[in-house]
Amino acid sequence: MLNNVRKKWISLGCWCLVAGLIAFLSSCEKEDEGTGEESGLIEIRASQKGIMRGGTVLFADSSTKVSQREWLFAGGKPETSTDATVTVQYDSAGLFKASLRVTYTNGETELEEVTIRVVDGLTAGFSVDQDSVIEYSYVQFSDTTIGTADEWIWEFEGGEPATSTDRQPMVHYKNVGMYDVKLIVKQNGEATNMDTVLVSDYIEVVLAPALVPEYEVDKVAPIEYEYVQFTDLTEGGAETYYWEFEGGQPATSTEANPRVLFTSAGNFEVTLRMTRTEPERDETLVSDITVGLAPEITADFSANVTLTPFGSQVTFTQTSSDNADGWFWEFEGGTPATSTEKKPTVTYSTIGVYDVKLTVTGTEPDRETVVTKTDYMTVTDPLPPVADFTSDYNNTLVFLAGGVIAYTDESLNDATSYLWEFEGGTPATSTDANPTVTYNTAGTYDVKLTATNDLGSDTKTLTNHVVVSSNGSVCDDSPANLIACGNYDGESDDLSGWRAARGATFTNTDLIFNQMDHLGISSTTVNGGIGSVTYEMIESNGLVIFVGSEFTVDVESSYTFTTDIYAETLGTTSGNMVVELAIIPKGTNDSNLYRAWQAPADMKDKWSTKSMNKILPVGTYVVGYRLYGGHSKWHFDNLKVVKN
């Protein structure tokens, strides 16, 4: 009677365990809404997954961000737990699920399971690091027997060794095929406490890949005296290499990736032989490489001057080809008479005309070439200076009062002293070679430089070189929509707001603002034009800009530019005299955006009123004139811009 009661209790307990597991799994299928926080990661660790009946397994929860856990151990004791680590005993043989359900800190849940195998007695088992290998490969076997074995008897069909008593044997498979593996395990040497496992066709051995010689080079078209890097690309596991390089240094090599120098041009044979054991292979690849001629060496040079007074120094610069590595100079009449420097400096102390010779050499391969420049150097008596200078002013479109200009002496023949005169500038004079000058008052000013040495002096003057703008002015309010003007309803002799440039084209990089001395105020020469602004165009195209007309557009609108123009022909005038009116964005020289061509016929040697209408976007603008044709003189008067 007691046995029957116990059986019913066990049956009821098993049924309850199964019902609980179903409910447990079902509840895990429902997803919690969570809090928006990222979930953790679930992980079960089991000390072992195969044990003898009556043994124990240590389970550990290694999950992250866990707020709650629930273990369920089918067939184990205890059946449930909420601990992080649990030791569970299994008293019955079979396969049992161990389940862990975790609730993360964000409220979401997740389930993970592991299977535990419980056996009644010693149960043989094994695993390998690889069960499919190429011929001549090794396979590592590992004992996974459940229970405590102390004797192992292995049988390896097709392997070396064919048998083993090691617990973890390493086996060599040389031949292609499918092979069985058998393991017998014993405890205490007793036949009654042993188990056997046999796995048929467990190890697959396939053919090793073919040995196919292949390589690449870093230069597909090398030239003589260049190194070529050979790199092996062979597949199939080559073990030895033997290279032969016709025409190369070295001629042979046993390296996998040799570097070879070819010292002559031609087509050369390259042979690569390689071998492999286990399984044995021996393959050869024969190919060729074409080596070209090195480029010819060229010789050339220049000097900083070729006309120089005696006693002065001249610097020579070689401009030979890059493959040159040796230079030998010969300087007729110079000191030193010869040099091997790349950039020698030579003193000429005697008046005369002299040759210069440069011999250039190259090695690997050997090359030599000579250049002689006959009568290249002319040495004269010392000369008086030739005054010349430049400044950073020419690149400025609008130069305002308070602006600064840096001047640079460019005089020839070694000036020893300088006298600068700056009309309208501060300082008004200077003896520096490269002075800096400030202009504080609107107007048009000359610049003068006198350069002196022991043999004399020379002076250079640029008339009307500096134009200091009066910042532009808003016109009087008659008419009401007049927003910019020049010489309007009244004559003026103020050129401070005018600039003049020339250029073969009207691109910004081509224009040079160095024509201010061509600007002026007209006299009685032109009837009715007294006080108008004049510009004499002598060469190339001309651009005259009135920066004093500056006006601002706040809202895109229509504007009309109107002006009186007189095209005065001169004795040397030829061809058409053409003008384009232009509205120019401030701070640029770009007269291409808003312009209009004007017919020349009705303003040739007479006054004509011209105008153009343009839609202007928001910005600040000035007006100007684009001039074409030959030598001529242009007159501009009564210019105005009105908002329509």
Among 158, 167, 453, smallest CA distance to 311 is for 453
This prediction's pTM: 0.39
Cβ atoms 542, 627 nearer than 8 A: yes
Sheet with 281-291, side-by-side order of all strands = 252-253, 240-245, 266-276, 281-291
Q: How far apart are CA 454 and CA 491, in angstroms?
A: 50
Q: Are 76 and 89 in contact (CB under 8 A)?
A: yes
The SS3 of residue 7 is helix
Quote the strand ranges of 570-617, DSSP E. Answer: 578-585, 594-598, 607-616
Q: Residues 78, 88: contact at Cβ < 8 Å?
A: yes
Phi, psi of 412, rounded to the nearest 5 degrees: -100, 160
- Phi, psi (5° rounding) for residue 29? -75, -20
CA dihedral of residues 174, 175, 179, 182 (deg, nearest 10): -30
φ/ψ region of 571 (left if φ > 0, alpha if ψ in -120 to 50, else beta) reads alpha
| Of 428, 465, 430, the residue nearest 450 (C-alpha) | 430
Give the pLDDT of residue 25: 42
What count of other Cβ atoms lies within 10 Å of the Cβ of residue 460? 15
Tokens of residue 614, six digits: 């343009």
Residues 171 and 141: their CA atoms lie apart, in Å, by: 8
Q: How confident is the model at residue 514, as a pLDDT?
A: 80
Distance of CA 444 to the CA centre of its chain: 48
For the chain, give the number of residues: 644
DSSP 3-state percent helix, strand, coil across the chain (nearest 5): 5, 55, 40
Q: What is the token pair recorded at 69?
A: 């856990």
The span from the CA of 230 to the CA of 257, in Å, is: 5
- Looking at residue 140, its amino acid is Q
Distance CA 342, CA 320 (A): 10
Which residue in this structure is represented by tokens 């501060």? 426
Nearest-CA neighbor of 306 among 259, 249, 348, 260?
348
Q: CA-based Rg of the chain, rounded to a whole angstrom?
A: 50
pLDDT along the chain (644 residues), means of 10: 29 36 42 65 93 93 94 96 96 95 94 94 94 93 92 96 96 95 90 89 92 92 93 89 96 96 94 89 93 91 92 93 92 96 95 96 88 95 90 61 91 92 96 95 89 93 78 47 63 72 78 81 58 79 81 91 85 73 87 82 81 93 85 84 87
How remote is the C-alpha of 407 from its chain's centroid? 39
Q: What is the DSSP string of 199-233?
A: EEEEEEEEPPPP-B--EEES-SS-BTTEEEEEEE-
**Which pLDDT does position 86 carry in this prediction?**
96
Distance of alpha carbon 475 from alpha carbon 257, whole angstroms:
83
Q: How far apart are CA 636 and CA 577, in angstroms?
A: 14
Shortest CA distance to 471 belongs to which of 399, 557, 412, 403? 399
Cα 601 to chain centroid distance, Å, stands at: 56
Nearest alpha carbon to residue 543 among 623, 467, 626, 621? 626
Specify the pLDDT at position 36: 67
Q: Degrees (nearest 5) of the Cα angle 23, 95, 44?
A: 65
- 87-118 confidence digits (pLDDT tens): 999 999 999 999 999 999 999 999 999 999 99
Neighbouring residues of 18: CB distance < 8 A, sequence distance ≥ 6: none
- What phi-psi label fits residue 188: left (phi over 0), alpha (psi between -120 and 50 degrees) or beta? left
Is the bond preceding 365 in cis, omega lying within 30 degrees of 0?
Answer: yes
For the CA atoms of 80, 84, 90, 96, the dihedral, rounded to the nearest 10 degrees, stands at 70
Query: Strand 132-134 to strand 190-206: parallel, antiparallel, or no bridges (unpaired)?
Result: parallel
CA distance 67 to 86: 17
Q: Determine contact, residues 288/300, Cβ cutoff 8 Å.
A: no
Burial (CB count <10 Å: 0-12, 13-18, 19+), residue 553: middle
Strands of 554-602, DSSP E: 557-569, 578-585, 594-598
The pLDDT tens digits of the residues spanning 23-82 come to 444 444 444 444 568 889 999 999 999 998 999 999 999 999 999 999 999 999 999 999
Burial class (CB in 10 A: 0-12, 13-18, 19+), 468: buried
Q: What is the pLDDT of residue 475?
A: 47
Backbone angles phi, psi at 418, to 5 degrees: -140, 145
Record the tokens describing residue 243, joined without a space.
Answer: 């290279």
Distance CA 305, CA 291 (A): 43
Distance CA 318, CA 302 (A): 7
Give me the phi and psi of 10, to 5 degrees please.
Answer: -65, -45
Task: Specify the pLDDT at position 599.
Answer: 66
Please report, for residues 61, 233, 314, 527, the alpha-carbon distance to residue 81 in angstroms, rounded to integers and kept in the order given.
11, 60, 99, 117
Reference 113, options 71, 83, 58, 144; nearest CA is 71
Look up residue 449 and give its amino acid: L
